[in-house]
Amino acid sequence: MTKFNVIRGSITAPQGFRAAACFCDVKTLGTGKGSKKGQKRDLALIVSDVPAKAAGMFTTNQICAAPVKVCVEHLKNNTAQAVVVNSGNANACTGPQGMIDAREMAAATAQALGLAEANVMVGSTGRIGVHLPMQNIRTGIATTAEQLKSTQTAATHVAEAIMTSDTKPKQIAVEFKLSGKTVRLGGIAKGAGMIQPGMSPTGARPASAPQGLHATMLGYLTTDAKVSAANLKKFLREAVAQSFNCITVDGDMSTNDTVLLLANGIAGNSKLIAADLKIFQAALNHICLELAKMIVRDGEGITRVVTVRVTGAKSFADADAAARAVGNSALVKTSWCGGDPNWGRIIDALGYSPATVVEENVDIAYSTPGAKKKIYSLKKGRSARTSFETLCKAVEPKEFELHINLNLGKSETVLYATDLTEEYVDFNKGDITDLASLGG
């Protein structure tokens, strides 16, 4: 089925991409607070040797950060050659100065690399409402631009530089053939908290706002395939819909969520035919889903990952609403933390979701990833009389699948969710003595 192979590496696996990252102290401005390792990288560049076709998906949060606005603007020509991104500061809610700063990040990168400013994409992640320390950013860009390499080490440095509360870098790459040419597709991502992305190509919300579409997640994808701008947009939209837009850690959609895909065409494949379109989409879907799952598995303080599979919904909107009600319910999430197979809380959340739900129709079951056998807790709204011990075992693994069949229609969806732990609360209640030193 799948005609691609997972290979080592990420954004520098495809031909013609270079990367570098440095520490320029964006977050703590020399105080050293907040950085556990002292010199954690916080500014990165990803650069293509030639202008690449590019597509993006952006947060649909109405409060949208300056770097996102600059990306949407710069993507109008469907072309990008470089991405500059910092962690430690989101450059969100920073007003006109925030826009000036985001544009200056692009301009400084364009100047350092001799590129067109409109071909530079900008990303930021971190605290909201604080102006970027532009002197540090300028120095960081100049330093990083001189260190660009096509090595995997360089890619890892970038994957580390975009981390905020993430505990590990997230990377993947695949290889496949298009018209006889070997093509590669790689990606990196970050997440951890404020994670329930709902992205669209322009950041604009659908006329009817999707229910529950709510860390900053950043994803940067590169390929040396030759793909038209129109196909690239379509590929990315579908891939994001079944991956990054299907995850939740805490139900909070960020102001900065961004996924970018750059295709520089250096592999030299011919124009894509129908079979090629399928294989490219499958490869991209795989990359995006694996990165999305890495984000969920590294969610703040989490101890369990639950794949919520809703089937039998009257509509996709119903399936999505049902899955998000369950995956974001404080009571369901705390029961997952405790290893309690509490189906009462699950059906309660289904019942208050906007989805149409009929008690007498609802089936709830568990399985381990990859296994076919389902352990039912509820059949047609009634206890399946499975022993409590058996149900406890079903929800004990670090990862399990929750199957909810509403038995009302044919629509379905999948949501990758997490438990809610004391560690999440402890981490996010923060330490105001640390924050005070940063000026809020």
Looking at the annotation, which residues are catalytic?
A: 216
Interface with a second copy, residue 295, by CB under 8 A = no
Q: What are phi and psi of 160, to 5 degrees?
A: -75, -40
Interacting residue with a second copy among 2, 383, 398, 410 (CB under 8 A): 383
Interface with a second copy, residue 191, by CB under 8 A = no
Question: Are 391 and 377 a contacting pair, CB within 8 Å?
Answer: yes
Interacting residue with a second copy among 20, 57, 84, 92 (CB under 8 A): 92
As separate numbers, helices (DSSP H) first and strands (DSSP E) second, the chain gives 12, 16
Smallest distance, a second copy to C-beta of residue 295, A:
16
Smallest distance, a second copy to C-beta of residue 101, A:
14
| Structure tokens that stand for 126 in this block | 């971190």
Smallest distance, a second copy to C-beta of residue 61, A:
4
End-to-end alpha-carbon separation of the chain, Å? 52
Sheet holding 382-383, edge to edge: 382-383, 375-379, 363-367, 399-405, 305-313, 411-418
Segment near a second copy (CB under 8 A); pick from 2-10, 92-100, 229-237, 274-282: 92-100
By CB under 8 A, the count of residues binding a second copy is 73
Q: Which residues pair with 190 in a beta bridge?
A: 218
Residues 6+ apart with CB under 8 A from 433: none
State which residue, 141 or 253, has the beta carbon closest to a second copy: 253
Nearest to 430 by CA among 133, 34, 90, 104: 34
Interface with a second copy, residue 153, by CB under 8 A = no
Handedness of CA 362, 411, 206, 231 (dihedral sign): positive
Taking CB under 8 A as the criterion, which residues in 64-83 touch a second copy?
Answer: 64
DSSP letter at 27 equals T
d(CA 14, CA 50): 13
Interface with a second copy, residue 431, by CB under 8 A = yes
Taking CB under 8 A as the criterion, which residues in 34-63 touch a second copy?
Answer: 60-63
Interface with a second copy, residue 223, by CB under 8 A = no
Interacting residue with a second copy among 334, 367, 368, 407 (CB under 8 A): 334
Taking CB under 8 A as the criterion, which residues in 311-330 touch a second copy?
Answer: 329-330
Interface with a second copy, residue 306, by CB under 8 A = no
d(CA 43, CA 142): 11
Smallest distance, a second copy to C-beta of residue 83, A:
23
State which residue, 235 or 416, has the beta carbon closest to a second copy: 416
Smallest distance, a second copy to C-beta of residue 358, A:
7
Taking CB under 8 A as the criterion, which residues in 241-260 touch a second copy?
Answer: 250-255
d(CA 64, CA 205): 11
Interface with a second copy, residue 275, by CB under 8 A = no
How many CB atoms sit inside 10 A of residue 440's CB?
8
Smallest distance, a second copy to C-beta of residue 310, A:
15
| Structure tokens that stand for 285 in this block | 């879907």
Q: Which residues pair with 82 in a beta bridge?
A: 47, 120
Taking CB under 8 A as the criterion, which residues in 338-367 touch a second copy?
Answer: 338-345, 347-352, 354, 356-360
State which residue, 371 or 436, has the beta carbon closest to a second copy: 436
